[in-house]
Structure 1
């Protein structure tokens, strides 16, 4: 939810569409991909900006985790920062590309949380605080979960200040499944 629009984004396809909550209409589907080296991205609403956060394959080898600001009018992106490489690789036991598939990302206000949902990795995570005025990124590691973490078989994450009532409308309206 960002500026009266509910966004739907395909993390691998990079397709995006939005639902205008006032007019109750969908936008056209378009592609929102920062550049060709992107493996996958997450679309994240922050307090003042719509962000993309994702893993990029470098032409020199290796990967990076980058943040881009999205202009919601033109859907053009501009890079605002990258996670320090040592912090990214601290989220994984090794450096195989398939390990990045367990990476998840959520955000709320001016914070972007990145974590590894693989239980064998004990759910390592980090956070990026984005200065609302300058757009500067400040990364740090989040302390490990307390033991025993084996009670977390699956981490499910979602951050939103949006109520379902604002999306679905009046309680008296009935949804029709077709």
Structure 2
């Protein structure tokens, strides 16, 4: 909420959209009740992809949405607060250098990630402003997202490829 207020005070016109999945929609709605400005909550998958197609930039919590937005070509930044237990255990359990699939797939830090104490509204606002503008950061991300799309392209539907892998595994298991 504070980041949005900062951006509005700087003259940015924003439309706030918050895609979520049906089983947590009510929790999300109750969580945003205390925000000064309420986002439009989107549960429908088709509407989500339409919103992605119109978005200039996004502020996300890490998760699958990072890959979805990357494939839609939407520049973004990520912020995430770890719960106290995860904060203690993460250094021992996490073996990847990024929590975001687009960063891992591209093998570079395309999307800035801010965690816990590094989540500062003024910093998030500056980062988003760089993505709103025709900036080097925006171009860097969009070029990286195009590369991710090329890397993930297949000549057949992914379900068909997965089924073939499973069938190979089953056949190999039966022959032993």
Tell me which protein shows more helix as a share of its residues: 2
* Structure label with greater radius of gyration: 2
Task: Work out which structure has the larger RCO, using CA pairs closer than 8 Å and 6 or more positions apart in sequence.
Answer: 2
Q: TM-score, normalised by structure 2?
A: 0.24
Larger strand proportion of the pair: 1
